Structure 1
Amino acid sequence: MSDALDQLKRHLAPIIRLQQIDGLLSWDQQTMMPPKATTARAEQMAALESLVHELFTSEKTAVLLAKCESALADAAPDSDEVRLVRVTRRDYDKETKIPATLVEELARHQALSHEVWVRARRENNFSLFAPALEKMFALTRQKAEYLGYRHHPYDALIDLYEPGMTYADVVALFDSLKPALIALVKNISEAERQFDDSCLQGDFPVEKQHAFTQEIVQALGYDLTRGRQDPAPHPFCSGFSRDDVRITTRFDPHLLVKALFASLHEAGHAMYDQGTPEAYEATPLAGGTSLGVHESQSRFWENMVGRSYAFCKWILPHLQKVFPDPFAHLNALELYQAINRVQPSFIRVEADEVTYNLHILLRFELETQLLEGTLSVMDLPDAWNAKMQEYLGITPPNDTLGCLQDIHWAGGLIGYFPTYTIGNLLSAQLREAMLHDIPNLETLIEQGEFSSILQWLRQHIHVYGRKFLPQELVILATGKPLSADPYLTYLQTKFKELYAL
């Protein structure tokens, strides 16, 4: 058994290292790459991803997998050894369905499409991006067909990011949330008590913001000896090993909270990857089990911690020290009210907790229509604006604030958006379970004692890497399957109190 597994690990390790190098190329493209390097970078990434696919889907992988499965037939089903082989089998069965030519073409187009998107977003010119987006959805339809599905092509795509989930599951999830969210938004909009967040505006030099946000995420537990933070057009986290996990943010010189909450969010992702057991390094068990679970970590730190009254009490003195204007005359309650102001807004990553999932619903419905071909790419801006008006009561004044705001479709991440809502739900469910074990949670946050929180997440989520399927991990961590109930209870309790509903 040991010999077969060791052979498989030795075979997979360099393949995983090549995947990490591919991720580093992508990080470089979004942060530091010279603008004219796009064509060469597209060819580099196409060549590398094609090589990774060839090596992983080789006959050698199949033979080693079969040997391990035979050798482990009587082993404990939840052992690291059995689970490593199961994860590898699941990945292998998917990858062998996709032709190498499609893998190469997708990698090339993702790199090229990203640069087109950056320019189109900067220039507010959707027509520049439309041909690239049309091709991306065409290639993704091919990918879904090769992967196969029972009922809907979205099934094949969502399963890549959230194993075991289907299109019908996503529809049911949003059906369980939509009425309550719309009702809560309406009740808040009609409440007598309203908040003004103009107190958060001021003059915030980017250099000071960068240093301040790094200080805060370090306080949470993000290890900057194994990571770094850089500016990028769209905040993201990239991990190339447990000891090299990098985050990005974007800075607004007049609104510090944009970079602050983006940094909290991405640090949540990064701490998950940094928490991968050392024994899992360069094996298929490294990393997060799904993007929904990954998102639960970022939303936990951003919202359950960062938007709490306790966190406002802790961070306000730090804000007042570094940015006396405008925070010098603000108290913790005013800060808490300002950062939790509920108001429909154009940008998803800056949306409040109550309206955020309506942004995700909009994207899920539109990408489904684009995938089915019931919506043409050229009609996307109008369809986007119509749904913004329907769900949030506002219409973006331009496409930069509308359908060009997200990086995901340019990168081929179609089927990804629902994982944000899954992460929101799980973050509240994790908070509920954590409160059972750490009843003084709010006191710890107020005191800036975050180590117990991080340790709880390490023990219940991070330590398992990809060992368990997301459905299994949720039950293991919280004692019950994923449910919308803890999240809706959290939202209603918090915002009914805030707005005196």
Structure 2
Amino acid sequence: MNARNAYDTLLAHSRASADIASALNLLSWDQQVMLPPAAHAGRAGQIGALTAILHRRACDPALGDWLAACEGSDLTRDAASPEAANIRELRRDYDQAVKIPESLAVALAQAASLGQRAWELARKENDFNAFAPHLSTLLDLSRQKAEVLGYAGEAYDALLDLFEPGETVAGVAPILAELRDAATDILAAIADAPPPAPLPAGPYPAAGQAALLAQVTARLGLPRTASRLDVSTHPFSTLIGPGDARITTRFDEGDFTKAFFGAVHETGHALYSLGHAGPAHYGTPMGEAASFAVHESQSRLWENQVARSLPFWEFMLPLAAEQFPQLAGCTPEAVFRAVGATHPGLIRVDADETTYNPHIVLRFELELALIRKDLAVADLPGAWNEKSQAILGLTPPDNALGCLQDVHWSTGAFGYFPTYSLGNIYAACLFEAAGQAIPDLSARLAAGDFAPLLAWLGTAIHEKGRLLRPRALVAAATGRTPTAGPLVRHLRAKAAAIYGI
């Protein structure tokens, strides 16, 4: 078989696997949004069965033969070509997959399905002991996964690399520390400044919130014919397949901003997914996200750099006031200050921009200790409370507001949390570059014209898929190596605008 035939066969196999993965994604979405309570045990078996099929396809020895026929051929001569990127990334995926026994892959999938349901119930009942056995199982399986994958530094590196290729504990720990210290400095600088006035009190009826979310998501560019918005315990976004991006949020009638910014955040994810998963590249690495941090950069950019800006509220406030008359007396400046204010709190997903990254530091340090076996599962609640007090200055009153608040560990996603802060960094880098490329960007946002920004992101990031590794992708888009500098500048400038420091 010549290289071109091998490549075509390779992509056909990859696309067929993507169709199966789409069904798996739909099962997972349904479990979090619509599944009847009595169906969870059966759903775990269904997810396990499809996972086994996908794993066998990912480990098929024929893949190795097709890849070998492509490597070193004319298809890889230009390293920046889509063909070369597909071959390189499919090799990475194959080499990882063949290291993981099918029994381990299925066990992880089933444990994640059962663990997520156990977490939902445990969080609702504030019952850590009910979730602890599931967490222990997921940790044990994740350590096994790290060992079979292999690593040069430590086990956590192997897990982190699955979410963020090339990143290690040694690489992300200093970045997280820099962001934690920057947050500490900003909090100290605004400590004596009067806080902005809060938004008017509710109620903000859920029906009105849903109507407003439909308006803002469509205005940002999310096509209604290719998406839907639902309610779930933990807001998320998932791509089922081409033209099918699902997002969720949750409503609080006392505070419309929770659902609002949650939906904008998930819209950023969905726009990215739809931007690289078109028919031409679907089912291949060129039709997939570069990494979890790059994915997060898109959601955080729309949520923070755009939707928490003054120009955005110059456009959005009249629309919001149509749904909620109590906002009619507000000015865009007042809303900007209110939604950008710093309010140290216990809940990560409700955290403001300044205190968000310390939340990631808290989780990173704890999950690292769990993987290293420096921290026992039984001791997690106490360790969480101690570290929360040390890092956030707050101690949770119960585990539902502490170590049970996030879904990630219930699905075995150890190594995921650092990608949130890396995503914040990439978002700030990209928005700075977008402002240089679109000189009238602020005026466009104030007019509700988000198309130029979406188009720039589409060309610079979305359409690239996995053409480049994350840091290289952001560097190519911005013209400079990504650092925490733009994010720290953004946070300081916002604090200065809101608090007058």
TM-score w.r.t. the length of structure 2 is 0.97
Deviation per CA, 1:137-169, whole angstroms, max 9, x where unpaired? Answer: 111111111111111111101100110111101
In structure 2, the partner of 1:23 is 25
In structure 1, the partner of 2:37 is 35
Q: CA deviation at 1:261?
A: 0.2
Bigger mean CA offset, 296-305 vs 280-289: 280-289
The letter for the 2-side match of 1:216 is: V
Contact 1:200/1:257, CA 8 A, preserved across alignment = no
Measure, in 2, the Cα distance between the counterparts of 1:469 and 1:91.
14
In structure 1, the partner of 2:54 is 52
Contact 2:340/2:494, CA 8 A, preserved across alignment = no
In structure 2, the partner of 1:394 is 394
In structure 1, the partner of 2:380 is 380
1:112 to 111, 114, 118: 114
In structure 1, the partner of 2:298 is 297
In structure 2, the partner of 1:164 is 166
Measure, in 1, the Cα distance between the counterparts of 2:467 and 2:343.
40
Measure, in 2, the Cα distance between the counterparts of 1:150 and 1:168.
11
Deviation per CA, 1:83-108, whole angstroms, max 9, x where unpaired? Answer: 10001000111111111100000001
Measure, in 2, the Cα distance between the counterparts of 1:175 and 1:366.
14
Percent identical:
42
In structure 1, the partner of 2:271 is 271
The list of structure 1 runs, each at least 4 consecutive aligned residues, that deviate by more than 6 angstroms after superposition, is none
Measure, in 2, the Cα distance between the counterparts of 1:33 and 1:112.
13
Measure, in 1, the Cα distance between the counterparts of 2:450 and 2:416.
30
Measure, in 2, the Cα distance between the counterparts of 1:133 and 1:139.
10
Measure, in 2, the Cα distance between the counterparts of 1:309 and 1:435.
15
Measure, in 2, the Cα distance between the counterparts of 1:96 and 1:164.
19
Contact 1:320/1:328, CA 8 A, preserved across alignment = yes
In structure 2, the partner of 1:203 is 203
Deviation per CA, 1:416-469, whole angstroms, max 9, x where unpaired? Answer: 000000010111111111111112111111110000010010010001012211
2:14 to 3, 12, 15: 12
The letter for the 1-side match of 2:350 is: E
Measure, in 1, the Cα distance between the counterparts of 2:196 and 2:126.
31
Contact 2:85/2:285, CA 8 A, preserved across alignment = no
The letter for the 1-side match of 2:280 is: A
1:32-111 equivalences in 2 (<5 Å): 32-72=34-74, 75-111=77-113
Measure, in 2, the Cα distance between the counterparts of 1:264 and 1:165.
28
Contact 2:360/2:418, CA 8 A, preserved across alignment = yes
The letter for the 2-side match of 1:380 is: L
Measure, in 2, the Cα distance between the counterparts of 1:316 and 1:73.
52
Alignment partner of 2:229: what SS? strand
Q: CA RMSD in A?
A: 1.2
Q: CA deviation at 1:200?
A: 4.2
TM-score w.r.t. the length of structure 1 is 0.97
Measure, in 1, the Cα distance between the counterparts of 2:6 and 2:256.
53
Alignment partner of 1:246: what SS? strand
1:149-188 equivalences in 2 (<5 Å): 149-188=151-190
Measure, in 2, the Cα distance between the counterparts of 1:232 and 1:300.
23
Alignment partner of 2:308: what SS? coil
Bigger mean CA offset, 356-365 vs 476-485: 476-485
In structure 2, the partner of 1:147 is 149
Alignment partner of 1:210: what SS? helix
In structure 1, the partner of 2:289 is 288
Measure, in 2, the Cα distance between the counterparts of 1:74 and 1:352.
45
Q: CA deviation at 1:413?
A: 0.8
Alignment partner of 1:164: what SS? coil
Q: CA deviation at 1:294?
A: 0.5
Measure, in 2, the Cα distance between the counterparts of 1:497 and 1:252.
28
Alignment partner of 1:400: what SS? helix
Contact 2:179/2:358, CA 8 A, preserved across alignment = no
Contact 1:360/1:418, CA 8 A, preserved across alignment = yes
C-alpha change, 1:212 and 1:281, in structure 2 (3 Å) is same
Measure, in 1, the Cα distance between the counterparts of 2:347 and 2:394.
11
Contact 1:9/1:283, CA 8 A, preserved across alignment = yes
Measure, in 2, the Cα distance between the counterparts of 1:74 and 1:35.
50
Measure, in 2, the Cα distance between the counterparts of 1:228 and 1:73.
39
Measure, in 2, the Cα distance between the counterparts of 1:497 and 1:39.
51
Equivalenced residues, count:
498
Alignment partner of 2:103: what SS? helix
